[in-house]
Structure 1
Amino acid sequence: MDDKKSAKKQNTQNKQLNKIKSSVFSRSLSLAKLTLQAGASIAQHGVTTALKSKESKEETWKQLLQNQALNISSELGELKGSLMKAGQMLSMYGEHFLPPEANQLLKSLQHDSPPLSWEAIEPSLLKNLPAEKRDLLEIEKEALASASMGQVHRARIKATGESIVLKIQYPNVDRAIDSDLRAIRTLLSTLKLLPKDFNMDPIFAEVREMLVQETDYELEAQLTEQFYDRLAGDSRYVVPRVLREFSSPKILATSFERGLRADDTLIQSLPQERRNRLALNFLDLYFKEIFDWGVVQTDPHAGNYRIRIDPQGRDQLVLFDFGATRSYDLNFLTPYRRMVKGSLLNDRELFLQAARDLRFIRDNDDPELQKLFEEFCFETVEPFIEHSDPRNSDGQIDVDGTYDWKNTTLPQRLSKKVFQIIRGFHFRTPPREMIFLDRKTGGVFIFLSVLRAKIRGRDLLLKYTERIS
């Protein structure tokens, strides 16, 4: 991390908010203000550019969008909650299926948000954790971490000395979900950034469902316990233990689990072999979720993973935040798994049938669209193909089959292919299940890239796909 980034991070941590706009009315007022400003800017843009050249209009339009992003960022300080989380979710999705201008605006919703001060968050703690439970704890007033929907405070159980963490939900964020989503959609529509022939309803429905789920801490406690049980016998992974006696619908208490971020200098200085082993373990967990369990933790944010260094080299992945865990129905998973297998083995017949079952493509689609979509999917599995495979056009696979996850142009090539599809064809909205599954896949790639992994992942993926008929 360079000095500027480090200073920015430090400033964010040192700064605290004394309040947030938690009522639906106050949030709606702020968001309505942004939309009105956007509408006025659009009208002014039309007047001032009426007689300008096309190039001049485009430049003025880009400047308008940049100004809107700045307006949004300045207004976001007191607007934690679903607005920020939805912006994060939609921008991850928008990387592939929304115009670049829309995605740039959505990214401005991902404001570097400092935690609430103790005076501001304490009322939520008092309301949601009985006094007799609080008396058993020593709670640190400075937040350990903060996010869009809540923040984490470290605590100590007085009787045992055990360190735990309390994830405290911000006040009323669950009540503002619908109004926040309407505001985002209205803002994008006002700025004419939503594709005219692209049905956004399934996307917003999926985002809403996940936001509602992420404010249900009782459900998150259950999901965390399920992952804890699934991985209890696997020493490669650490899942926090839920402490029900200190949890409630708006507070989640778990064991404190130490670890370092993947980009920490100590992790980056580990030998290549150890980083590769961590990368393979991360991939293995991802494949277990998709191919064995049908249950996927779909939030790949870097803050949801830590690495625990072991003196003997048996390093562990520490897993956090299971609020965005999603179960997938076999009606979706079966053809999806076949699509992966068909792409991996270059089996066009298996791939095309699975793609039709998922309604990605249809028999009456333009042949060029089918060709581009097929190329996109076959290129996606590039890290897992053989060295001799003719699809290895980027030269990223060594003779021994290892793939360099850091030094590859694959993400750029995939984005280029998607834009070809969007701009050249009327491409229907993908199955809603893909929204967060794609988000997870992208997060896995980023994590392995941060680890600078150079691994042979084909053998691992084949182990899972060979069971698919």
Structure 2
Amino acid sequence: MSPSAQRPGIAVPSTRISRLWHLGRATGDLAAGIGVKGLIELARTRRSDDPARIVLSPAHTQRFTQRLARMRGAVMKMGQLMSMDGSDIFTPEAAEIMSSLRERAEPMPMSQLTTVLDREYGPDWNQRFRRLEFTPIAAASIGQVHRAETRDGRRLALKIQFPGVRESIDSDISNLALLARTLGMAPSGVDLAPYFESARAQLHREADYLAEANALETYANWVGDDADFFVPKVHRDLSTTRILAMDFADGVPVDQLADGRYRAAERDRAATALTRLAMRELFAFALVQSDPNFGNYLYDANTGRIVLLDFGAAVAVSEDLIAAYRALARAALADDRGAMRTAAIAIGYVSGDDPSAQIDALLNLLSLASEPLRSPGLYDFGSSDLFERVYARGREMFYSGVFSSVPAPETMFLHRKFMGAFMLCRRLRARVDLTAMLSSYLD
């Protein structure tokens, strides 16, 4: 086996106290970077229609993201979600640094890496490979990916889980819940506990790589021979609960199509394909890959295909919930407020006993968000300010006390999925015919 050098890594903190300390340091870096005026501004914008804008220096942003990257696990996952469309909250310079969380974490030290390999494959693991590159090609919140070639010539990507991350999920979620309560991240009367519990259960599923292998194979069967996508094959003989072996695939994160090297036609095609796939996941597969991280989709310029990665966050959707969203989509296309009200109650957005003003406010928000569905032909996300309007209105409603309850936690993953598709279309300045695309799933 021919190894490559690895830069020194930083051990993953594994105890609750050590992770709470790191989280406190990261929060302190963020608060110091924002400053007193910035904190006052954030408090003010929570009660207004004006978009929040954090003026954070590159130096403070770098320290903040480095701490999250060192922690890995649930805390880094939350940081990745913060970075998904940071241009609306952070300055461009800060948003650029935050985006690094979507593609890398601090690699684990060689001692931790070899400990995982020894435990999962046995002490003679090196006999299985002709080559294993010890420098990871990618690292995220739960594990890092290494390029490898087996003795029989298979070119693989090995997703190797950080030691201690699975064991730290519960403490991370408890620490984040404590931080959320301390900072007042939700209005009074809104209980975020079910959401944190749902996130905890999902992260435990993501940390089980054999469960992810099952989801990947199920998903590949659903995708079939779709010419727009490539789903890597699982290699079971080298996969365990903490190592996932799959085909190696080339490509760049799909959001990089936004730079000047790619034509508008390529951006439109990629955005259309992934939006269509999101609708197929809900209405046809009943299996949604709910992690919107752009790094989970690689664009292969040589083939024009999109490589689909990371199925740890695959969530099965019940038939009743699918039927309710189908009814909501039909109502939104027809701009039928009565039918929208019925569907919103079925999903759990509101209760039939809620005050009419509260229900009307929710229906107005749903009608606003469905603007692209009622726009025949290509909707130009690049020239639309819909995201800002929905974001501002939704935040105002959330903190105004309009909602006396929140929908069931399982809807959170669907919201995350479709918000990710929306943000990708926006990032790529794509033109997508959502009306025609959705209509085919509503018959």
Q: Same fold (TM over 0.5)?
A: yes
CA apart distance, 1:30: 4.5
In the other structure, the counterpart of 1:151 is: 144
Distance 1:192 1:288, change over 3 A: closer
| 414-423 vs 362-371, greater mean Cα deviation | 362-371
Residue pairs, 1:434-449, within 5 angstroms: 434-449=411-426
**Matched residue SS, 2:176:** helix
CA apart distance, 1:355: 1.1
Given candidates 401, 406, 419, the residue that maps to 1:429 is 406
Contact 1:133 1:246 in 2 (8 A): no
In the other structure, the counterpart of 2:321 is: 332
Contact 2:156 2:248 in 1 (8 A): yes
In the other structure, the counterpart of 1:420 is: 396
Distance 1:66 1:248, change over 3 A: same
In the other structure, the counterpart of 2:286 is: 294
Distance between the aligned counterparts of 2:69 and 2:420, measured in 1?
26
CA apart distance, 1:249: 0.7
In the other structure, the counterpart of 2:198 is: 206
In the other structure, the counterpart of 2:383 is: 407
Residue pairs, 1:340-359, within 5 angstroms: 340-359=329-348
Contact 2:83 2:99 in 1 (8 A): no
Is 1:306 the counterpart of 2:282? The answer is no
Name the count of aligned residue pairs. Answer: 414
Q: Match for 1:228: what amino acid?
A: A
CA apart distance, 1:364: 3.4
Residue pairs, 1:155-166, within 5 angstroms: 155-160=148-153, 162-166=154-158
Distance 1:268 1:291, change over 3 A: farther
Is 1:321 the counterpart of 2:321? The answer is no
Distance between the aligned counterparts of 1:277 and 1:208, measured in 2?
35
In the other structure, the counterpart of 1:251 is: 243
Could you give the per-residue CA deviations for residues 225-263 of structure 1, whole angstroms, max 9, x where no partner exists? 111222232222100100011111100000001122224
Distance between the aligned counterparts of 1:207 and 1:232, measured in 2?
30
Q: Match for 1:343: what amino acid?
A: A
**Matched residue SS, 1:135:** helix
| 77-86 vs 347-356, greater mean Cα deviation | 77-86
| 375-384 vs 84-93, greater mean Cα deviation | 84-93
In the other structure, the counterpart of 2:47 is: none
Q: Match for 2:132: what amino acid?
A: I
Normalised by the length of structure 1, the TM-score is: 0.78
Distance 1:268 1:340, change over 3 A: farther
CA apart distance, 1:338: 0.8
In the other structure, the counterpart of 1:394 is: none
In the other structure, the counterpart of 1:58 is: 40
Could you give the per-residue CA deviations for residues 109-157 of structure 1, whole angstroms, max 9, x where no partner exists? 9696332243442221221123455312111011100111110000011
Is 1:115 the counterpart of 2:91? The answer is no
Contact 1:21 1:79 in 2 (8 A): yes
Normalised by the length of structure 2, the TM-score is: 0.82
**Matched residue SS, 1:197:** coil
In the other structure, the counterpart of 1:277 is: 269
Identity across matched positions, percent: 27
Contact 1:82 1:177 in 2 (8 A): yes
Contact 1:372 1:417 in 2 (8 A): no
Contact 1:84 1:109 in 2 (8 A): no
Residue pairs, 1:26-37, within 5 angstroms: 26-28=18-20, 30-31=22-23
Distance 1:330 1:257, change over 3 A: same
Distance between the aligned counterparts of 1:257 and 1:448, measured in 2?
23
Given candidates 441, 444, 454, the residue that maps to 2:431 is 454
Contact 1:86 1:207 in 2 (8 A): no
Is 1:140 the counterpart of 2:133? The answer is yes
Distance between the aligned counterparts of 1:205 and 1:139, measured in 2?
37
CA apart distance, 1:177: 1.0
Distance between the aligned counterparts of 2:26 and 2:428, measured in 1?
39
Contact 1:32 1:183 in 2 (8 A): no
Distance between the aligned counterparts of 1:231 and 1:177, measured in 2?
31
Contact 1:298 1:326 in 2 (8 A): yes
CA apart distance, 1:372: 2.0
**Matched residue SS, 1:151:** strand
Distance between the aligned counterparts of 2:375 and 2:355, measured in 1?
31
Q: Which of 1 and 2 has greater Rg? A: 1
Distance 1:189 1:93, change over 3 A: farther
Distance between the aligned counterparts of 1:86 and 1:351, measured in 2?
31
**Matched residue SS, 2:106:** coil
**Matched residue SS, 2:220:** helix
Could you give the per-residue CA deviations for residues 63-110 of structure 1, whole angstroms, max 9, x where no partner exists? x99899998657545422122124545888999xxxxxxxx9xx8996
**What is the Cα-based RMSD across aligned positions, in Å?**
3.7
Q: Match for 1:446: what amino acid?
A: M
Contact 2:187 2:400 in 1 (8 A): no
Contact 1:295 1:328 in 2 (8 A): yes
Distance between the aligned counterparts of 2:362 and 2:156, measured in 1?
47
In the other structure, the counterpart of 2:181 is: 189
| 321-330 vs 18-27, greater mean Cα deviation | 18-27
Distance between the aligned counterparts of 2:410 and 2:350, measured in 1?
16
| 20-29 vs 209-218, greater mean Cα deviation | 20-29
**Matched residue SS, 2:246:** strand
CA apart distance, 1:422: 1.9
Contact 1:87 1:109 in 2 (8 A): no
Q: Could you tell me which runs of 5 or more consecutive residues in structure 2 were left unpaired when the two chains were aligned.
A: 1-5, 45-53, 88-94
In the other structure, the counterpart of 2:214 is: 222
